[in-house]
Structure 1
């Protein structure tokens, strides 16, 4: 398990996913102020927000376990824990603290791409989590809104919509819930296609763990590579100076021999 600390924590792939999901969560919570409580979409947004909070807690707990200084981590990120408490939607606005913190680091010119390259597999996992969350959020919301106006629809509640999205993403197709409108069928086609690609990413990630012969070897970070390159350059310079000194000594010996012959 890789230890993380400081800027590396803030710019690791899962933290960047949490940044994106923070925007999604804030958009959902803000929209709740304009949706009646008895509306089915209100219940759907509450359910999705709870699922996103679960992702937040998993990400924060994982970062806490990998942190070198857990006390300092909790001191810095306690607002993130409070903002991830489900059901209490107003607390979600405390995630603005994390959003501004990460955006400041990105804006300050930190090596964002290098951090992602250092954690490629974690970046893949983060991408899968992000795509899955976006598919569930957008897919369930749209299918419920689209199908709610058709009298023949069989997707009537938040539970039906979320269940349908998960079944469609996995391409299982139980058939207990299905779209009856043209727009709903088009949306189902898009979600099925994305689901196939998502599971292709999962299969590729698993195969990389199985087939990579260097998976047990510690990775050489960019700064370590620079350090070794500097050592090699100094070694080459030292060898060159030794060769020059040896050549001078040889020339001096030959010159002395000629002087003795005279």
Structure 2
């Protein structure tokens, strides 16, 4: 696994995914403050927030493993670990720190496209996690809102809605839970189409890993070549400055020798 520089490569595809999920988590936690704790919607939001926390923990642990300095990474990201503890919703507001950090990097960075282009697998993986979270959130919430109060429906609780959306995204289709209203079926069609596309992305990612085992090595060599080009450019600038300094010193020496009176 490629080792990353905590400062130079902090703005990578997974951090952009964390930005969107952090904002989503903040919205969900804020919404739970106005919901009845015994309502199905509240349970769905808590389950989705727990799922997002698991994604955060996976991302943080992977970045910790890849970082050059584990102590420096923990020093800068300890609030993110605390904010990712499930079932303690008030801690989620610490995610504001990560949101502000990534926004600051977005404003100051000129290498966003370079990062996404040169980390295509990580970009694909971040997109998969992001789309999966969006599908689960929208699918479970909308199907429960549409079907929850229909007497002949079989999706009445948060657990039913979450189980249905996972089964529908995976296109398994057990048939134990299904929508009975027209709007619910339209939602199911959208979830199925998005689920097929999502698993197509997963298949493409796995295929690229199997068919191109030298991908990470090529990226590392490309990064090394870029660093060498930057070092050579810096050396050329330094040599040019030294040449100008040497020219000035020679000129000063000549002026001094010219202005010195001759001794008889």
Give the TM-score of the pair, scaled to structure 2.
0.83
Residue 130 of structure 2: aligned partner: 130
Residue 72 of structure 1: aligned partner: 72
Once residues 231 and 69 of structure 2 are traced to their aligned partners in structure 1, the CA distance between those partners, rounded to angstroms, is 31
Q: Following TM superposition, by how much is the alpha carbon of 1:222 offset from its aligned partner in structure 2, in angstroms?
A: 5.5
Q: Following TM superposition, by how much is the alpha carbon of 1:138 offset from its aligned partner in structure 2, in angstroms?
A: 1.0
Residue 179 of structure 1: aligned partner: 179
Gaps of 5+ in 1: 232-262
Q: Is the 8 A contact 2:160 2:177 kept in 1?
A: yes
Q: Is the 8 A contact 1:143 1:184 kept in 2?
A: yes
Q: Is the 8 A contact 1:9 1:15 kept in 2?
A: no
SS of alignment partner, residue 218 of structure 2: coil
Q: Following TM superposition, by how much is the alpha carbon of 1:230 offset from its aligned partner in structure 2, in angstroms?
A: 9.4
Residue 63 of structure 1: aligned partner: 63
Once residues 110 and 27 of structure 2 are traced to their aligned partners in structure 1, the CA distance between those partners, rounded to angstroms, is 28
Report the CA distance shift for 1:55/1:229 in structure 2 as closer, same or farther (over 3 A).
closer
SS of alignment partner, residue 225 of structure 2: helix
Q: How is 1:78-97 mapped onto 2 (pairs within 5 angstroms)?
A: 78-97=78-97
Residue 202 of structure 2: aligned partner: 202
Q: Is the 8 A contact 2:149 2:156 kept in 1?
A: no
Gaps of 5+ in 2: 233-264
Report the CA distance shift for 1:40/1:229 in structure 2 as closer, same or farther (over 3 A).
closer
Q: Is the 8 A contact 1:10 1:16 kept in 2?
A: no
Q: Is the 8 A contact 1:118 1:221 kept in 2?
A: no
Give the TM-score of the pair, scaled to structure 1.
0.83
Q: How is 1:85-234 mapped onto 2 (pairs within 5 angstroms)?
A: 85-212=85-212, 214-215=214-215, 217-219=217-219, 220-221=221-222, 224-225=225-226, 227=228
Report the CA distance shift for 1:40/1:62 in structure 2 as closer, same or farther (over 3 A).
same
Q: CA RMSD in A?
A: 2.1
Report the CA distance shift for 1:185/1:70 in structure 2 as closer, same or farther (over 3 A).
same
Once residues 116 and 215 of structure 1 are traced to their aligned partners in structure 2, the CA distance between those partners, rounded to angstroms, is 15
How many residues align? The count is 233
Once residues 147 and 4 of structure 2 are traced to their aligned partners in structure 1, the CA distance between those partners, rounded to angstroms, is 46
Q: Following TM superposition, by how much is the alpha carbon of 1:117 offset from its aligned partner in structure 2, in angstroms?
A: 1.6
Residue 257 of structure 1: aligned partner: none
Q: Following TM superposition, by how much is the alpha carbon of 1:8 offset from its aligned partner in structure 2, in angstroms?
A: 4.2
